[in-house]
Structure 1
Amino acid sequence: MPAQIDIKEVHWLLDIVQCLDVGVVVLDRQYRVEVWNGFMENHSGLCPDQAQGRSLFELFPEIDEPWLRRKVETVVQLGTRAFSLWQQRPYLMRFKSYRPITGQADFMYQNLTLLPLAAAQGEVEHVCLTIYDMTDAAVLHLSQG
């Protein structure tokens, strides 16, 4: 028997997701945005109302669509996480580096984790993308040659 979900718990869990210093995007199987947290809003300039229900590829044409589709399909089929490090692919979405004073990077270097999200029946119906800002580490690594 499934545990009852307290609406107060859902509320504070949503608050946590909104305040994380990590991008959180949940996509349905048609790659439409369902969740768009504060990190994503701050770095993309798109509020959740502008992103929700729209294709991620429409919002960010710079995304390598065939590559991301392959990654997502693997996550869905295997039901396991997948990763992409900035060393393999500098970014998923080309966000400006928000450290204009040091100004050593033109864009935000990103690590990406893809998480399968299963429905109650066990089928993966959504995928969560978590996007980590790795700019400081990348600039340091690249400066050391």
Structure 2
Amino acid sequence: MDKFGWLSRAAFDAIVGGVIILDTRFKVVLWNDWMSIVTHTHAHDAEGQRLIDIFPELEKSRIIQSTERAIDQGMASFLSHSLNKRLFPLKRKDQMEGKQTEICQNVTIKPFFDEEGEKYCLIQIEDVSKTVMRENLLKSASERFQAIFNTVKDGIVITDRSGIIESLNPAALEIFDCQQDDLINRKITDLLTETDMYGFSKGEKTPQEHRYEQVLTTKTGKTTVIEYDVNVMTLEGQAHYVSIIQDVTLRKQNEKELRSRTRELEQFNDAMVDREIRMIELKEEINKLTKELGRPIPYEEIWNDQAD
């Protein structure tokens, strides 16, 4: 093998991903090192065999159908992992768990010709296992966030930088007594009057830590007392505002009732004190009149003005 041929083969084997080349009889012509590692089948054992003999599981699969279309009709195919859960039966040992795990793949199959016009079929296998793992982690995190978003008792409204409502949770819909379609793409200032101080129209201000109270009257006539604050959240490099809203109607009613009862108790206490003072004054008057008649006083003196 000359230097160019050696370099070509070395480069072929250095590719991170599987590369298989089939001839018109669907026999393996080239099989790179990546395929040798994941299949435990060396190139000299694979080359010369039909693909279906190496992977009997692929019979009637989309892989075989796509290679036939490439050889017979000159058609290229792309088989993604998202639409094809199992393509080549490839596994690798998981370093963390120590067990064999399937390799998630995207597979490209296309025909090509050599310099003499001979047709071949190129199969490229891309290992997307890490991408799929990241997608699954993100999906799991998104599902957890959505579960919290949907079940938290406080209302949550997310807007863009200009204050246009992008999403609301069920608690917020209940507070505003509206359907989601009624509020999406509306200005948050239509609902939360104090948020206008944040300059949503210009997107130029950053909310300060402060809690606001507002009496909210819905379109159905329901009156609710709410408290809310607004915070900044960055998503994909873009600022969004998150309004956290609490329905404090019951708490305000309880506070009002408590204040009313406190006033009643204070009034009662004042009345009792006034009555006690009046009784003392009355006893003193009786004692004074009794003394003037030269008789013993009927009530014990509470204080003695004559004391030294």
Q: Same fold (TM over 0.5)?
A: yes
Bigger helix fraction: 2
Q: Please list every run of 5 or more consecutive structure 2 residues that lacks an aligned counterpart in the other structure.
A: 141-308
The structure whose RCO (Cα within 8 Å, separation 6+) is larger is: 1
Question: Contact 1:91 / 1:111 at 8 angstroms: preserved in 2?
Answer: no
Question: For residues 78-134 of structure 1, what are the alpha-carbon distances to aligned partners after superposition, in whole Å with 9 as ceiling and x for unaligned?
Answer: 5453211111113422221343316798300011111312133545x2101111111
- Aligned match of 2:33: 38
Describe how 1:1-145 pairs up with structure 2 within 5 A: 7-77=2-72, 79=74, 81-101=76-96, 106-122=101-117, 125-143=119-137, 144-145=139-140
Length-normalised TM-score, structure 1: 0.81
Length-normalised TM-score, structure 2: 0.41
Question: Contact 2:18 / 2:126 at 8 angstroms: preserved in 1?
Answer: yes
The code of the aligned residue for 1:60 comes to: F
| More deviation, 95-104/82-91 | 95-104
Q: Size of the alignment, in residue pairs?
A: 139
Percentage identity across aligned positions? 21
| Displacement after TM superposition at 1:60 (Å) | 1.0
Question: Contact 1:84 / 1:113 at 8 angstroms: preserved in 2?
Answer: yes
| Displacement after TM superposition at 1:11 (Å) | 1.7
Question: For residues 48-81 of structure 1, what are the alpha-carbon distances to aligned partners after superposition, in whole Å with 9 as ceiling and x for unaligned?
Answer: 1111111111111122435233312332355453
CA distance in 2, matches of 1:74, 1:40: 23
Question: Relative to 1, partners in 2 of residues 1:142 and 1:98: Cα closer, same or farther, differing over 3 Å?
Answer: same
Question: Contact 1:91 / 1:108 at 8 angstroms: preserved in 2?
Answer: no
Question: Contact 1:80 / 1:115 at 8 angstroms: preserved in 2?
Answer: yes
| Displacement after TM superposition at 1:139 (Å) | 1.8
Q: Please list every run of 5 or more consecutive structure 1 residues that lacks an aligned counterpart in the other structure.
A: 1-6
CA distance in 2, matches of 1:64, 1:140: 31
The code of the aligned residue for 1:101 comes to: M
Question: Contact 2:58 / 2:88 at 8 angstroms: preserved in 1?
Answer: yes
| More deviation, 69-78/43-52 | 69-78
Question: Alpha carbon RMSD of aligned pairs, Å?
Answer: 2.5
